[in-house]
Amino acid sequence: MASSEESNQPEIPDIEDAPVQGNEFSRIMKIYKRKWTFILAIFFSMCSGIAPQLMNVFFGDLLNAVSKPNFSKKDLNGAIINLMIITVVVIALLVINHAFRSQTNPEFMHDLREAIYSHILRMDISFFDKTSTGVLISRLSQDATLLFNIYIDKILTVALSITQAAGGLILSYITMWQVALPATVFVILCTVSYYIGDRVVTKLWEEFAQHSSKATSKAEEVITSFRTIRSFDNEMYETQQYGKVLDDVDAIFSKTSIAQGLKDSVILFFTNLMLPVFIGLGSYFIVEKPEMGYVSGDLVILLLSLLFATTGFTIVLSLSDDFKKARASAAKILKLLDLEPEVDQEKSGKKLKKDFVFQGKVEFRDVGFKYKTRDEWAVRHLSFTVEPGETVALIGESGCGKSTTLQLLQRFYEISEGQILIDDMDISKINPQDLRSMISVVPQGPVLFSMSIKDNIRYANPRATEEEVHKCAEIGNAHDFIMEMPDNYASRVQQTSLSGGQKQRICISRAILANTPILLLDEATAALDTESEQLVQQSLENFRKGKTAILVAHRLATVINADRIIVYKDGHVEEVGTHQELMEKGGLYSELVKFQLQ
């Protein structure tokens, strides 16, 4: 029995409000199961960053061999062989790096999405009441993809670029430090210029994206509302309004293009200035300071090393904004993963023995419940009993707690007050999975999955044979129309046009296959036409025999044959009896019936 409402209904945090903590990367990487692959990928990325510097050295040696006044063929052949060997090594490193990178990418995406997906499926129904589907899909798709692109792909790029930049600087100092020292200033200026320009351009592109989104939204609004626009002859007005939106897009695009051009021009200026300046400076030391021992090959090594250093630092800085976005996405994912369900569906409650048999007695004892998203009570002081094999109808005005009752019986929510018992056992003491294995539900809106009709029916029991599926479909009045389809039971639901009645009969066939002692029907025929309702009612009559059935309904034809009718008012039981007894009483039920007949 619940002691208080507050203890059973903690507030659900908003998973969109997720501040960055600073430890996102380390926590996300704990999800990755095959970390050794990632570590090897980083190692070979770093090797791939060092490899070009080795090629520079051997290429410089080749030039030095050729530039000697009395170079020998032996020296030349040796330099060529060395260059060929290092080229093969570099290619091998690049291939290995690509192989590990290709292996790491899908593995990380698989592990991350699986962790998010499995955690979402562990959450309580109340979590889904407050959290929009779009937010959860965004965690699974956009945020997971962004983390994959940044935390795996871009980190490997950073590992390569940092190694390449550091190796380039070190090699330039080893080769000709007198030129490398002033060249470092150029590298820093070039890198900082790129970083500043990139930040400005990025902000402008974000502003451009916002204006483009407004233009798209305006076009979508006009196209979807075209009948209204045409009825008022407002085509010209809407064209003018759309033109104004496009003017804003054009203006920001012009600013962005100018900023992009300036950024590229500055980088080109430093890059192009660096070559003649340091070629001249290096040549000076070679020609005018021969005692230093520098030769032309050293100058080539220096210039290529500086070029690699500049490129590496530029790439690293250009990714800074991407890593900020990744940390924000990681924070959102981690906040979702930090949420714990109120009830652990696997471990909570007592597991029942495999040979345990439910009789199907249901009892509500002074039950009270509030949804976390609402202030008012959904049900309060709710008490009634359903005997094994009895069919009971719940009836009342909309919002009086009928459907809530069925959800509480399935333990989709934890009650705030009272007890719910099945066969005199408190359902809070029963494992939720064992509890729901004894209950079949036919909802108002038929829920079918994008798979074959046979697999939709077998969803209740994947081990069911073809014969069992066909038998349940016959009881559910679905077999005949299924056999008229081109692929019969193999017909895919998403490719098949099914009526509401046909979909509902497939759902009933699925519930029949589950073969549980308790059946819950939540407005199962409310959205059907008369003919479809009759077929579904017949299916339910065939199925209900010998089972405890609780049905929620508005239509008189659905409830009139129930063993008992429980009339709800404001979340509690107002009247109980058969149709005849309640009509003779002249209370709320008779008023509802008279209103419906009118």
Q: Which tens digit of pLDDT belongs to each residue from 151-184?
A: 777 888 888 888 888 888 888 888 778 877 887 8
pLDDT for residue 3: 39
> What pLDDT does 575 receive?
87
Structure tokens at 532: 């479809």
What is the helix (H) or strand (E) element at residue 312, kind and residue range? helix 296-318
Q: Residue 2 pLDDT more than 50?
A: no
Please compute the mean of the pLDDT values over residues 212-226 and round it to a whole number: 80
Average pLDDT estimate for 464-491: 86
Average pLDDT taken over every residue of the chain: 79
So what's the pLDDT on residue 306? Answer: 78
* 561/60: higher pLDDT: 561
Tokens coding 189? 């200026």
Domain ranges of the chain: 20-338, 360-438+550-598
What single DSSP character describes residue 363?
Answer: E
pLDDT of 417 above 70 = yes
Residue 20 DSSP one-character state: -
pLDDT at 495 over 60: no
Among 7-16, 185-194, 541-550, which is the least confidently predicted range?
Answer: 7-16
Helix %, strand %, coil % for the chain, to 5? 65, 10, 25
> Is pLDDT at 10 greater than 60 in this prediction?
no
Q: Minimal CA–CA distance to 437: which of 353, 521, 508? A: 353
Can you tell me the mean pLDDT for 25-31?
A: 78
pLDDT of the residue at 151: 72
Lowest mean pLDDT among 214-218, 322-326, 585-589: 322-326
Is 450 a residue whose pLDDT tops 80? yes
Task: Look at residue 303 in the predicted model and tell me its pLDDT.
Answer: 78
Domain 360-438+550-598 fold: Rossmann fold (3.40.50)
pLDDT of residue 75: 67
Which one-letter DSSP state was computed for residue 563? S
The answer to which of 64-73, 79-88, 406-415, 419-428 has the lowest mean pLDDT is: 64-73
Confidence (pLDDT) at 109: 79
Residue 301 and residue 58 in contact, taking contact as beta carbons nearer than 8 Å: no
pLDDT at 44: 83
Task: Write the CB contacts of 48 (distance below 8 Å, at least 6 apart in sequence).
Answer: 90, 93, 94, 97, 160, 163
**What confidence score (pLDDT) does residue 6 get?**
41
Give the right CATH number for 20-338 from 1.10.287.990, 3.30.460.10, 1.20.1560.10, 2.60.40.10: 1.20.1560.10
Mean pLDDT calculated for residue range 59-88: 71
Give the range among 39-48, 308-317, 501-510 with minimum mean pLDDT: 308-317
Residue 20: pLDDT band (50, 70, 90) is low
**pLDDT of amino acid 68:** 63
Average pLDDT of the residues in 373-382: 83
DSSP string, 485-496: STTGGG-BGGGS
Share of the chain above pLDDT 70, in %: 85
Strands 362-370 and 417-422: antiparallel
433 pLDDT higher than 60: yes
Q: Which pLDDT belongs to residue 37?
A: 78
Q: Give the number of other Cβ atoms within 10 Å of residue 164's Cβ.
A: 26
Over the stretch 125-161, which tens digit does the pLDDT of each residue have? 777 777 777 778 877 777 788 777 777 778 888 888 8
Q: How many whole angstroms separate alpha carbon 156 and alpha carbon 144?
A: 17
Cα distances (Å, whole numbers) of residue 65 to 71, 89, 293, 298: 6, 22, 14, 11
Which residue bears the tokens 């005692």? 291
52's tokens: 């070009």
pLDDT at residue 238 tops 80: yes
